[in-house]
Amino acid sequence: MKQLASYVQGEFRKGTGEAMTLVNPTTEEALATVCSAGLDLGAALQFARDRGGPALRALTFAARGKLLAAIADSIHSRREELVQMAIDNGGNTRGDAKFDIDGATATLTHYAELGARLGERFILVDGEIAALTRNPRWVGQHVNTSRHGVAIHINAYNFPAWNAFEKAAVALLAGMPLLTKPAEATSLVTHRIVEGLVEDSVLPVGALSLVCGSAGDLLDHVQRQDVIAFTGSAATGVKIRSHARVVSESVRVSIEADSLNAAVLGPDAEEGSDTYEMFLRELAKEVTQKAGQKCTATRRVLVPRDRLAGVERDLVERFTQVAVGNPAEQQVKMGPLATAAQLKRVQDGIARLGGRLATGGDRGKVAGTKGYFLAPTLIVVDDARKVAAVHTEEVFGPVTTLMPYDGTSSDAGAIVRLGGGGLVASVYSDDEKFCEAMLREIAAFTGRVYFGGEKVAEHAFGPGTVLAGLVHGGPGRAGGGEELGGERGLHHYMQRTAVQGYKPAVERMTDSHTRTV
d(CA 110, CA 397): 30
Helix (H) or strand (E) holding 446: strand 446-452
Q: Report the Cα 52 to chain-centroid distance in Å.
A: 25
Contact present, 171 and 57 (Cβ < 8 Å): no
Q: What are phi and psi of 92, to 5 degrees?
A: -80, 145
Q: What is the pLDDT of residue 512?
A: 53
For 268, other C-beta atoms within 10 Å of its C-beta total 18
From 35, 212, 295, 435, active-site residue: 295
Residue type at position 317:
E
> What distance in Å separates the CA atoms of residue 112 and residue 392, rounded to the nearest whole number?
39
**Cα distance between residue 75 and residue 73, in whole Å:** 5
Task: Determine the distance from the C-alpha atom of residue 122 to the mean position of all C-alpha atoms in its chain, rounded to a whole number.
Answer: 28
Helix 94-118 vs helix 61-77: crossing angle, to nearest 10: 160
- Whether residue 149 contacts residue 226, with contact meaning beta carbons closer than 8 Å, is answered with yes
Domain boundaries, the chain: 40-257+480-514, 261-467
Pairs from 197-203 (Cβ < 8 Å, separation ≥ 24) = 197/71, 197/74, 198/7, 198/12, 200/70, 200/74, 202/67, 202/70, 202/71, 202/74, 203/67, 203/71, 203/172
Dihedral, CA atoms, 165, 171, 177, 181, nearest 10 degrees?
A: -40
List C-alpha distances in Å: 108 to 37, 101, 227, 323, 483: 31, 11, 20, 33, 14
Residue 345, helix vs strand vs coil: helix
Instruction: Compute the 3-state secondary structure of the chain and give helix, strand, coil in percent, each to the nearest 5.
Output: 40, 20, 35
Per-residue pLDDT at 509 = 86
Q: What residues have CB less than 8 Å from 289, skipping those under 6 apart?
A: 96, 99, 297, 334, 464
Residues whose CB is less than 8 angstroms from the CB of residue 254 and which lie 6 or more positions away in sequence, other chains included = 227, 228, 229, 230, 473, 479, 481, 482, 483, 492
**Which of 421, 338, 268 has its CA nearest to residue 89?**
338
212 is catalytic: no
Pick the CATH number of 40-257+480-514 from 3.40.50.2000, 3.40.50.11810, 3.40.605.10, 3.40.50.300: 3.40.605.10
CA nearest 420: which of 445, 401, 439? Answer: 445
Smallest CA-to-CA distance from 236 within 186, 289, 179, 183 is with: 183
SS (H, E, C) 179-247: EEECCHHHCHHHHHHHHHHHHCCCCCCCCEEECCCCCCCHHHHCCCCCEEEEECCHHHHHHHHCCHHHH
Spell out the per-residue pLDDT of the chain, length 517, in tens: 899 999 999 999 999 988 999 999 999 999 999 999 999 999 999 999 999 999 999 999 999 999 999 999 999 999 999 999 999 999 999 999 999 999 999 999 999 999 999 999 999 999 889 898 888 889 999 999 999 999 999 999 999 999 999 999 999 999 999 999 999 999 999 999 999 999 999 999 999 999 999 999 999 999 999 999 999 988 899 999 999 999 999 999 999 988 999 999 999 999 999 999 999 999 999 999 999 999 999 999 999 999 999 999 999 999 999 999 999 999 999 999 999 999 999 999 999 998 999 999 999 888 778 999 999 999 999 999 999 999 999 999 999 999 999 999 999 999 999 999 999 999 999 999 999 999 999 999 999 999 999 989 888 889 999 999 999 999 999 999 999 999 999 999 999 999 999 999 998 888 754 444 3
Q: What value does the CA radius of gyration of the chain take, rounded to a whole number of Å? A: 24
What CATH code is assigned to 261-467? 3.40.309.10
User: Closest by alpha carbon to 322, among 353, 270, 280?
Assistant: 280
Q: What does the alpha-carbon distance between residue 131 and residue 141 come to, in Å, rounded to a whole number?
A: 9
Question: Could you give the dihedral angle defined by the CA atoms of residues 418, 419, 424 and 425, in that order, rounded to the nearest 10 degrees?
Answer: -30
Q: What is the DSSP letter of 33?
A: E
Give pTM, 2 decimals: 0.92
Q: Which residues contact 206 (CB under 8 A, 6 or more apart)?
A: 10, 47, 48, 50, 51, 52, 53, 55, 177
Rounded CA gap, 71 and 112, in Å? Answer: 10
Among the listed residues 256, 312, 441, 482, the single catalytic one is 256
Look up 195 and say whether it is catalytic: no
Question: Which residue type, as a one-letter code, is found at position 68?
Answer: L
- Residue 61's H or E segment, with its range, is helix 61-77
* pLDDT (0 to 100) of residue 78: 97
